[in-house]
Amino acid sequence: MSGGSSGSVAGPWWVVVTGASQGFGAAICMGLAPLLPRGSKLLGVARSQEGLTNTAAAVNKINPNATFISIMMDLETATTLDLEAALKRHLGAGQPTPPGQALVFHNAGSLGALKYLREMDDSAHASSYFNLNISSVIRLNAAFLRVTSALPAKVAVKIIHIISLAALEPFKSWGLYCTAKAGREMLFRVLAAENPALRVLSYSPGALDNDMQVKARTETQDKDIRDIMSSLKAEGKLLPCITSANKLLHILDKDQFKSGEHIDYSDA
Ligand SMILES: NC(=O)c1ccc[n+]([C@@H]2O[C@H](COP(=O)([O-])OP(=O)(O)OC[C@H]3O[C@@H](n4cnc5c(N)ncnc54)[C@H](OP(=O)(O)O)[C@@H]3O)[C@@H](O)[C@H]2O)c1
């Protein structure tokens, strides 16, 4: 993202990436690293200190003029106040310069139990699943918008949501995941409708060659879906995370999407 074509002003960027400890979130951070102007702050949120430390080292190696800040936090239990306090600590009042743009990538997520709905009898699991995969997104948006509301109007504020084909297609034995992604799609469309000044994007990264796919092809109860996931790997159809992350950053740079739109890796 050059900043020029995206209508943003010059200056450091403020970026928040959830799930920055591994997988697609770490790839977003690495794809962003060379683009960050001097003085930018990249806040990576996750539970794994080791994973965040690895991402920090990779970002710092690519761009020593930007700062990666590790925020070890469990998004399932973090409140809006916890999130707001963490953002204000690093991005709040007293910053020497307002940012050129402020971005949040809602990337953290989980598959949850991959079993048929007729066997889904653990309501505690369902509650904690939706708390992480839907409610935490609502809480982080509220915190991020409170912190960025004081910025000058010319600062571009972009909210990026990592979605999946599963928001649109029913995958047998993936009821929790499909439901959360479908709910989030509408959540971000409402966010875009409520805030015309924001740029909101739901990006579906394609099937990625990472840990989440290992779980998908080994733990999915439904054999048809499990076989599809296994064949994606066997036929070499899984994407490297960085390839899809760079496509997302290119879409953001071109800035031609309709706010609230859902774009798939293969569309762009
Ligand atoms: N993999 C695919 O093929 C694929 C396809 C379409 C969409 N997606 C979406 O892409 C996004 C990234 O997934 P991925 O494939 O990179 O999966 P992943 O490798 O399993 O990474 C998930 C990330 O979410 C974080 N996370 C999970 N629970 C958390 C919690 N309670 N609090 C804070 N962070 C938490 C993890 O960090 P910690 O464990 O350190 O907390 C990790 O960094 C997800 O939204 C996923 O639905 C993936």
Query: Which domains does the chain show, CATH number per domain?
Result: 13-207+242-263 (3.40.50.720)
Q: Find the 215 Cα to ligand 1 centroid distance in Å.
A: 12
Q: 258: burial class by Cβ within 10 Å (0-12, 13-18, 19+)?
A: exposed
Tokens read off for 43: 């806040």
Residue nearest to atom 45 of ligand 1 (CA): 109
Using alpha carbons only, give the angle 225, 227, 231 rounded to the nearest 5 degrees: 120
Q: Which atom number of ligand 1 is nearest to the Cα of residue 18?
A: 34
Q: Which atom number of ligand 1 is nearest to the Cα of residue 78?
A: 32
- Closest to 99 (Cα-Cα) out of 57, 51, 42: 42
Looking at residue 7, its pLDDT comes to 52
Q: Find the 10 Cα to ligand 1 centroid distance in Å.
A: 31
Cβ-based neighbours of 160, under 8 Å, separated by 6 or more: 103, 104, 105, 106, 200, 201, 203, 248, 252
- Closest to 173 (Cα-Cα) out of 128, 216, 140: 216
How far apart (Å, rounded) are the C-alpha atoms in residues 251 and 149?
A: 25
Looking at residue 4, its pLDDT comes to 37
Residue nearest to atom 17 of ligand 1 (CA): 212
Q: Which atom number of ligand 1 is nearest to the Cα of residue 207?
A: 3
Looking at residue 27, its pLDDT comes to 98
Residue nearest to atom 36 of ligand 1 (CA): 19
Looking at residue 154, its pLDDT comes to 87
- Closest to 70 (Cα-Cα) out of 88, 39, 43: 43
Q: Is residue 110 in contact with ligand 1, taking CB distance under 6 Å?
A: yes
Q: Find the 210 Cα to ligand 1 centroid distance in Å.
A: 10
Residue nearest to atom 33 of ligand 1 (CA): 46
Q: Find the 153 Cα to ligand 1 centroid distance in Å.
A: 32
In degrees rounded to 5, what are phi and psi of residue 18? Answer: -90, 150
Alpha helices in 131-172 (DSSP H): 136-148
Q: Are 40 and 13 in contact (CB under 8 A)?
A: yes
| pLDDT, tens digit only, all 268 positions of the chain | 544 344 567 889 999 999 999 999 999 999 999 999 999 999 999 999 999 999 999 999 999 999 999 999 999 999 999 999 999 999 876 677 789 999 999 999 999 999 999 999 999 999 999 999 999 999 999 999 999 998 888 899 999 999 999 999 999 999 999 999 999 999 999 999 999 999 999 999 999 999 999 999 999 999 999 999 999 999 999 999 999 999 999 999 999 999 999 999 999 6
How far apart (Å, rounded) are the C-alpha atoms in residues 14 and 40?
A: 6
Q: Is residue 166 in contact with ligand 1, taking CB distance under 6 Å?
A: no
How far apart (Å, rounded) are the C-alpha atoms in residues 33 and 11?
A: 15
Q: Is residue 164 in contact with ligand 1, taking CB distance under 6 Å?
A: yes
Residue nearest to atom 23 of ligand 1 (CA): 19
Q: Is residue 168 in contact with ligand 1, taking CB distance under 6 Å?
A: no
Using alpha carbons only, give the angle 34, 205, 216 rounded to the nearest 5 degrees: 125
Looking at residue 2, its pLDDT comes to 46
Q: Are 55 and 67 in contact (CB under 8 A)?
A: no
Looking at residue 98, its pLDDT comes to 83
Q: In this predicted model, what pLDDT tens digit does every residue of 232-265 receive, in sequence order?
A: 999 999 999 999 999 999 999 999 999 999 999 9
Q: Find the 84 Cα to ligand 1 centroid distance in Å.
A: 22
